[in-house]
Amino acid sequence: MSNPHPVIAGFHPDPSICRVGDDYYLVCSSFEYFPGVPVFHSRDLVRWTQIGNALERPSQLRLSSGTLSSAGVYAPTLRHHDGRFWLIVTVVADGGGNMLFTATDPAGPWSDPIRLPGVPGIDPDLAWDDDGTCWCTVAGIVQVRIDPRTGETFGEPHKLWSGTPGAAAPEAPHLYRIGDYWYLLIAEGGTERGHGVSIARGPAPDGPFEPCPANPILTHRSTGHPVQNTGHADLVQAPDGSWWMAFLGVRPGGGTPGWHVLGRETFLAPVTWEEGWPVVGGIVSGSPSGSFMDDFDLAELQACWISMRSRPADLYTTKERAGSLTLRAAGASLDEHDVTFLGRRAQHLRWRARTLIDSAQGRGGLAVRLDEHHHYEIEAGDGRVQVIARIGSVRSVVAEQAVPAGPLVLAVQAGDPRSPGDPRSAPDTLSFSVEGSTVLASLDGRFLSTEVAGGFTGRVIGMYAATGTVHFDWFDYEVTP
């Protein structure tokens, strides 16, 4: 069986898509990372470019240091209506809830939030009927009418559909008017191996809804397909009249039970219609993104860079030292919620990342992070480098080496597991080194996977400061065979 590539690889879950003319726009969940809700553009549904982040100001998104990993921003829906883009999300954090943002240009700027205190739950969707009434539907498949310009709700939320009998967690609803029917697309079965997509239709946006007799219309449960956990989908129609589905999935690797390390990624499949019901075809392989380099010559950081919960300007800058990223320490390690960390999502199964660090005024390094309890890093400072592993409740220095004074190139590489073919083998091995010397440590990759750590995110690779001030001259990320 071929191994289809995502159209947006790496930790980009819960895709929501819309089209305006010949242009497609897509957003994803961002959880505890800031800025929130990456925004992508495409002309062909296969090749996507990030054009910004919708929530890039503290006035839009405030995640305190107490926000847990895998909390934060959940399940956005993106729609275009009445000449504007509308983005509705759930923020799972203190003072959060469901909120709505608008923009005339999806690249931004986006508005400050319109709060929706009368909308319960998570996974909110927006749909407008012919008379302009706006319907908001949430997980549990509960619906309420809203005024999207003020956040006011009308009437009590009411249940539309319970999903497939016996299927857990009906969520991620999207409502569409297609032909003579209103279609209600949902995810169910939980976001693990049992995940799937089902659909119902009815005469009006508030039902009643009859389920498709072929439900689930998409699932890879109990199959050997290389893409698993398929669900949380959205539909879009192309200018030529064809239909397409964007949805999340994972690429587990290693032995049994399989470990996915990149998080839930965005995939694409064609949709045809038979007797008024959608039929989902095979996955269309995306165009893999390539290597990445940032020499930090720009005054502002590129859109792909993310930090945990916030990004205070006094701790992150490219303006202090020309052509360098300067990080000032807050939390003392990757174990802390407020560590100064700047990373990007890992997007390939095999890769190498490097950075040139100057730690003369502090201590910092290069890390691969899943959450506060699951991360590996190579750290430089005080005339030595250390490879540190945090796995659950255990934190250990697994290798240490003295180094000469001056800047160093730190490197980490994701490669093949040490015991391929073993049913217990890891999905990969992460090797840490100082460029020009031997590998200091090679660590089992399964411990930085969702199956071990839990949660909803994937690996993020980046630079951090643990003490003092640390400068990084450049960062590169290279796809390897």
**Catalytic annotation, residues:** 14, 171
User: Which is nearest to 151 in space by CA: 125, 128, 112, 118?
Assistant: 118
Judging by DSSP bridges, how do beta strands 460-479 and 362-371 pair with one another? antiparallel
**In what helix (H) or strand (E) does residue 319 lie, and over which residues does it extend?**
none
Burial of 159 (0-12, 13-18, 19+ CB in 10 A): exposed
In angstroms, the CA 77 to CA 12 distance is 14
Token couple for 375: 């991360």
CA 335 distance to own-chain centroid: 21
DSSP code at position 117 = T
Tally of CB atoms within 10 A around 397: 11
Secondary-structure breakdown of the chain: helix, strand, coil percentages, each rounded to the nearest 5: 0, 50, 50
CB 236 within 8 A of CB 243: yes
Environment class of 163 (CB within 10 Å of its CB; exposed 0-12, middle 13-18, buried 19+): buried
Strands 325-328 and 316-317: antiparallel
Reported residue count of the chain is 481
Q: Which of 29, 21, 27 is nearest to 263 (CA)?
A: 29
What is the rounded CA–CA span in Å between residue 62 and residue 194? Answer: 33
Enter the tokens of residue 318: 């490219």
Q: Are 265 and 11 in contact (CB under 8 A)?
A: yes
